[in-house]
Amino acid sequence: GAVVSQHPSWVICKSGTSVKIECRSLDFQATTMFWYRQFPKQSLMLMATSNEGSKATYEQGVEKDKFLINHASLTLSTLTVTSAHPEDSSFYICSARAGPAPSPLHFGNGTRLTVT
Amino acid sequence: GDSVTQMEGPVTLSEEAFLTINCTYTATGYPSLFWYVQYPGEGLQLLLKATKADDKGSNKGFEATYRKETTSFHLEKGSVQVSDSAVYFCALSDPSDYKLSFGAGTTVTVRA
């Protein structure tokens, strides 16, 4: 079945540094990928929609300059957390559809980011 | 806007017990409804879905029926196993843009 691979699975970084998270669709092409953030014991919050070959669409309240999204190919989207701060510590999850909407989303295993 | 409300956990059950996780939604139009499951250390997986009123989604012994009159999509399983221990998320997809809105998740622990 459709597999979405996310890397790294966890990362620890110091305040002020930047961290890049990769999301790959392994056996299908995805023109659109989605980035979510999950706080402890809370739901997934959609951060942005990543569009291949064009700018990402950010949800209200999400800083586009802080969370840089690049969807350079049909199988790869990256999320870069710039100038990370401890409050950016969270679980980040990407997802993609293997077919046109409304086909179900397939999720990566997530990335646990800890900013010290 | 669209929203999903599901029962708070955690829920702890014994093996072979009956499981119900309540989920209600608020949406304009006619959304599709989903249940996703997140096993420990893994990403979310689609468990089942329903795309219109009165549809019943089922998978791995789990069932949920799309009830438009009560705006609900409760998840049920008649006899749970230890392997069903996971976090369960109810979600809806807005037909206008197909974005998913998730409930807060319910942690289920099944004891042997």
Eight-class DSSP state of A104 = P
Q: Which two tokens stand for residue A32?
A: 């659109």
| pLDDT band with cut points at 50, 70 and 90 for residue B41 | confident
Which candidate, B109, B72, B87, places its Cα nearest to that of B41?
Answer: B87
Residue A31 has pLDDT above 90, yes or no: no
Cα separation, B112 vs B110, in Å, equals 7
Which candidate, A29, A26, A80, places its Cα nearest to that of A52?
Answer: A29
Q: Are A28 and A104 in contact (CB under 8 A)?
A: no
Place of tokens 């919050």: A45
Lowest mean pLDDT segment, chosen from A7-11, A103-107, B52-56, B80-84: A103-107
Cα separation, A79 vs A62, in Å, equals 13
* SS3 of residue A87 by DSSP: helix
Eight-class DSSP state of A62 = -
Q: Is the dihedral of CA A58, A113, A1, A72 positive or negative?
A: positive
Residue B95 has pLDDT above 90, yes or no: no
Residue A39 has pLDDT above 90, yes or no: no
Q: Are B19 and B76 in contact (CB under 8 A)?
A: yes
* B64-77: pLDDT as tens digits: 999 999 999 999 99
Cα separation, A115 vs A15, in Å, equals 6
Q: Do residue A46 and residue B99 have CB atoms under 8 angstroms apart?
A: yes
Q: Are B101 and B4 in contact (CB under 8 A)?
A: yes
Question: Over chain B, what is the mean pLDDT?
Answer: 92
Nearest chain B alpha carbon to A59: B99
**Which chain A residues touch B41 with a CB distance below 8 Å?**
109
Q: Do residue B99 and residue A107 have CB atoms under 8 angstroms apart?
A: no
Q: Do residue A4 and residue B43 have CB atoms under 8 angstroms apart?
A: yes
pLDDT of residue A91: 92
Residue A61 Rama label (left phi>0; alpha psi -120 to 50; beta): left
Residue B55 has pLDDT above 80, yes or no: yes
Out of A42, A102, A109, closest to residue B42 by CB: A109
Q: Taking residues B74-89, what's their average pLDDT? A: 96
Q: Taking residues B89-93, what's their average pLDDT? A: 93
Residue A2 has pLDDT above 90, yes or no: no
Which candidate, B45, B42, B41, B44, places its Cα nearest to that of B59?
Answer: B45
Distances in Å between the alpha carbon of A14 and those of A11, A38, A91, A94? Answer: 10, 20, 16, 23
Q: Are A23 and A8 in contact (CB under 8 A)?
A: no
* A68-113: pLDDT as tens digits: 999 989 999 999 999 999 999 999 999 998 777 777 788 998 999 9
pLDDT of residue A70: 92
Q: Taking residues A34-54, what's their average pLDDT? A: 87
Out of A46, A102, A107, closest to residue B32 by CB: A102
Q: Do residue B36 and residue A102 have CB atoms under 8 angstroms apart?
A: no
